[in-house]
Each structure stands twice: as C-alpha cells, then as structure tokens.
Amino acid sequence: MNDKRCDEPPGPGPTEPVARAKLPELALLFLRLGFTAFGGPAAHVAIMENEVVRRRRWLSPEKFLDLLGAANLIPGPSSTELAIFIGNEQAGWRGLVLAGVCFILPAALMVTALAWVYVRFGSVPQISGVLYGIKPVVVAVVVQALWGLGPKAIKKSFWLGTIGGVACVASAFHMDALAVLVGAGVVSAARQRLGKADARAGAVLLGGVAGTGATVAVPVSLLALFLTFLKTGAVVFGSGYVLLAFLRADLVERLHWLTEQQLLDAVAIGQVTPGPVFTTATFIGYVLGGGWGALLATVGIFVPGFLLVMLTRPLVTRVRRSLLASDFLDGVNVAALALMAVVTVQLARAALVDVRTIFIALVGSVLLVRWKVNSTWLVVGGAVLGAVARMAQ
C-alpha cells in the first residue's frame, strides 16, 4: 500500500467509495497484527480501526462500528470476531477464514513455545521468578478492565446493579457460570417486559440455585479437552477476561485439571504475548495434553466464533434493533462483570502472597487506571522485578 495514505484525512464518509482488499493483503495485515497487537481487546479494536478505516479505506467508519457492534453481540472473543467480520466483509467466506486464522495463528504459536518452556523449565528459579512478578500485574489488568467497564454496564439503571450484585453472590457460591449469565439476561429482560414483581422473583431464583455446580473430577482426555473449550468458546460473553471465570469454574473447580497457580500462570503467559487473550486456551491445552492438546483447545475455543460470525452476519441489524435482545444483553454484560470480579478476588489470593506482590499489584492498578500505561510494559516490568527478587533470595 502507498504510505502517503497515512497523511490523508481520517477515513471515508458514509457515502464515499471504499477500497476492496485482496486475499494476500488481508493475510499480511492480520498476520502482522497477530505478531504485534499487544494490549488486549480494546487496543486490538483501535489498531484495526486505524488500519482498515483510516489507512487502507477498506471500510467506512459507520460500517466499522456496525461490525464492532455485531462482534459484541455474540459470544466469543470480540476483537478476533471483529477481524473475522472484516475478512468476511472484504472477501466473503475465504476472507472470513483467512483473517481469523492469520490473527490467531501467531499468538497460538508463541504461546505453544512458551508452554513448552513452562512444562520443561517451570521449576527453574528464574522462570518461577518471572511468573511470580507477572501474576500481580495480571490481577491489576483485570481490575482495570472492571474499573472501566463496570460503570458503563450499570449506568442504565439501579436494577442492573442489583442483578450484578446477585450474580456476584451466586458466583461466589459456585453457581455454574453459564447459568449466572443466562439467568441474569432473562431477569433483565423480564424486568422490562413483565414488571418489577416478576423480575424480583427471577432474581431470587437466580440467587437461590447457587452452589449447585458439579465438582466431580474428570480424567483428562483429548476429547474432553476439546469439548470443554468448545463449550467455553460458544458461551463466553463480554470482555476476554470473563474467560477466567469459565476456566476457573470448569478446569479448577469442576474438573480439577488445574490448580489456581497453574491457571494464573496460563493467564500470565496470555498477557506476555500479542493477539487474542483466548490463546490462554492454547497454553492450558499444551500443559494438559501436549501438542495435540494445544491444537484441540485452540480449535475448540475459536471455532464457535467463526461459525457465529457466518451465521449471524445477515441477522445483526435486526438483533441490534430488538429491545428484548438489548435488555437480555444488558443483563448478560452485568453478570459477566460480576463473574470477573469474583474471579479477580479468587486469583488475587493466589497471586498476592507477600508485600512485594501486593505492592506490584497496587502500583500496576494505579498506572493502568490513572495514566493508562500499556499493560505490556507493566508485564515486562513485573517479570524483571520478579526475576530479580527470586535471584536475590
């Protein structure tokens, strides 16, 4: 592409013609983003907007916002699904597959390599020191996400805040994460359609079934691993960090495949690498099942996003205009944040083990919330501090 476009006005207007991407151009762009897009979903969206609207003029600003809204309406990793939507818009089903795979593949390969190092050298003091320093930063990153998203999710009504509080209690008492999300969505929709009394009864029901989640250990098998991540990829709404709630509920509490520490390590590795946060699944798959486990976990968690984009693309406009769907999603989003809050507390217990780690988490939270420091630099800083602290012992 011509570099002079960097100096052109910021994107086409709603009626201006836009350029059409060719398959090699799509592949090169999303491969590059897969290798360089640090900072999580919000940063990914900003980078994609700059690349496809401002620089390349593949989409108008209005069309980009439509696709972003569609990605937020369906389960799965929103920034990855945005890449898939963009590919589909530019080159049909071939572009859909190519853009998604090219965005996911670099991060998946890097995470697999780090998982190999973790499995082989995880007990070496230098490696454990790096993870010791990164884990408090992970807690700070999730705190930042909650700080930014929480007020937006509950600002519409006091009732949504109530639903969020009930969802927190239900999650704290080990209610199934999917049941919390669906129940909150139903209660929110009922509040608007049936009135306060019926909705209040629904909220009581949502809280009353807490503690019913299964806790029977299941042996690790490749098929069970694939199906677990397939389910997760098909139902996770909200920020990529909501994934933590599902992983903890399934892999730590229900199946007993991971410890709290191993889950924290997986999330820490996901923070070190660019690309989708959902490649945390790749790391866990490798730890539990080697190379095949990494492949099946990655395919399982991402394939629902491809299918949902393909199936919902023609229906997006109608769904967005539906008041009932909007009310349901308001409840789901609040519940997703409640799950994140509970998991943050649980993970903090495992990560904040002494004064140093508490200090790292507090400083990281302030830098992220107050000064919007890129989380990648904090991860690097935490890794250095952790390694130095362990070597000094």
Given this model, what pLDDT does residue 87 score?
A: 95
Given this model, what pLDDT does residue 164 score?
A: 87
H helix intervals, the chain: 23-36, 41-49, 61-73, 78-121, 125-154, 158-172, 177-193, 196-208, 222-235, 243-247, 260-272, 280-312, 316-321, 323-351, 355-371, 375-392
pTM, full prediction: 0.75
Given this model, what pLDDT does residue 193 score?
A: 66
Of 129, 317, 337, 350, whose CA–CA distance to 241 is shortest? Answer: 337
Given this model, what pLDDT does residue 7 score?
A: 45
Instruction: Report CA-CA distances (Å) from 257 to 160, 280, 287, 301, 340.
Output: 34, 15, 10, 17, 21
Of 377, 138, 360, 361, whose CA–CA distance to 269 is shortest? Answer: 138
Helices 158-172 + 196-208 axis angle, to 10: 20
Cα 254 from Cα 244, distance rounded (Å): 14
In this structure, what is the dihedral angle of CA atoms 69, 70, 74, 77, given to the nearest 10 degrees? -70
CA-atom Rg of the chain in angstroms: 21
Asked if 309 and 81 touch (Cβ cutoff 8 Å), the reply is: yes
Cα 165 from Cα 131, distance rounded (Å): 32
Given this model, what pLDDT does residue 360 score?
A: 93
Given this model, what pLDDT does residue 132 score?
A: 87
Given this model, what pLDDT does residue 241 score?
A: 67
Q: Which residues contact 390 (CB under 8 A, 6 or more apart)?
A: 125, 126, 128, 129, 132
Three-state secondary structure of 216-239: CCCCCCHHHHHHHHHHHHHHCCCC
Which residue stretches of the chain have pLDDT < 50?
1-15, 17, 197, 205, 209-214
Asked if 210 and 174 touch (Cβ cutoff 8 Å), the reply is: yes
DSSP states of 129-197: HHHHHHHHHHHHHHHHHHHHHHHHHHTT-HHHHHHHHHHHHHHHTT--HHHHHHHHHHHHHHHHHT-HH
Asked if 142 and 264 touch (Cβ cutoff 8 Å), the reply is: no
Which residue has 């008492």 as its token pair? 173
Residue 214: Cβ within 10 Å count: 12
Q: Which residues contact 307 (CB under 8 A, 6 or more apart)?
A: none
Helices 125-154 + 78-121 axis angle, to 10: 160
